[in-house]
Amino acid sequence: MSPLQVNLAVDPNLDYDSTAYKVAYSRLNGVFITGEQEAYNNYLRLAEMLPQHRTSLLAAARVERRHQRGFQSCGRRMGIKADRGWAEDVFAELRDRFTAAADRGQLVPCLLIQALVVECLAIATYNAYLPVADEFSREVAEAVIQDEYQHLNFGQTWFQEQFETVKADIQAASQSILPIARTILTRMGQDAARLGIDLETLEEEFTIHYGEALEAIGFSFQEVSGMSADGAIAA
C-alpha cells in the first residue's frame, strides 16, 4: 500500500487538489518555510554566543536551510505560493523575544527558544502533519523530523551538562516563552484543521516532546508538570 493510500484511509475527504486544501496548505507551508528561516537565523546567532560549539551550530544552521528548501519544493509541487506574510507575523513575538535576549547576551533563553521550543514545535507539527501529507511532502517531513531530533538533543545535552547553574534561568525563561509557543500553535489551528490536523493533537505532541526534553535535562516529573501548566491553554 502506498503512503497516499494510507492517507486516504485516514481521511477519505481530503482532496489535495481542492482550493480549500491549497489555501490552507499555502499558509501552513508558509509557516514551515518561515519557521525554518527562524531556526537558521537563530543558529547563526547562537554560533556567535557559544563559540566553543560554533561548528555544530553552524552545521545546524545549514541543515535548517536545507529543510527550508525541502518545504519550498513541497509548495512548488503542490502549485501553491507560500503565505510568508502571515507566517512572519505568527513568529514575530518569538523572534522579538529571541533577539531581545541575544542583544542582552542571555544565552539560556536563546538556547531554550531555539533548541527546545522551536525544535519541539517543528517535531510536533511535522509529526501531526505526516498522516495527512501528500506522498512527496511526507517524505520531506520524515527526513526533516530526524534532523530536528538531533538539534533537540544538542540543546538537551548542553542544558543537562550545566543543569544546576542554569536550572532557575530555564524555569524563568520557560514561563514566559511557553505561552508564546502555545499561541503559535493556536494560530496554526484553523489551517491545520483544514488539512485534517487536529489542534488538540498538535498541542499534545508539543507538550509531550517539550516535557520529555525537560525531563532529559534533569527536571523532575513534578517540576515538568508545573512548568507545562504555565503555558497551558485554559480548558
- The residues that touch Fe ion, with contacts defined as CB under 5 A, are 36, 64, 67, 148, 151
Q: How far is the CB of 67 from Fe ion (least distance, A)?
A: 4
Show the cell assigned to 32: 514551515
**Which C-beta is closer to Fe ion: that of 39 or that of 102?**
39
Give the integer Cα–Cα distance in Å for 41 and 65: 9
Least separation, in Å, of the C-beta of 235 and Fe ion?
A: 31
Q: Measured from the CB atom, is 22 or 151 closer to Fe ion?
A: 151
CB of 46 to Fe ion, least distance (A): 11
* Nearest distance in Å: CB 119, Fe ion: 5
Q: In terms of CB distance, is 8 or 44 closer to Fe ion?
A: 44
Toward Fe ion, which CB reaches closer, 21 or 145?
A: 145
The nearer residue to Fe ion, 36 or 205, going by C-beta atoms, is: 36
77-92: b (≥16 Cβ within 10 Å) or e: ebebebbbeebeebbe
Q: How near is the Cβ of 222 to Fe ion at its closest, in Å?
A: 29
Contact 30, 82 (CB under 8 A): yes
Four-CA torsion 163, 166, 109, 225, nearest 10 degrees? 60
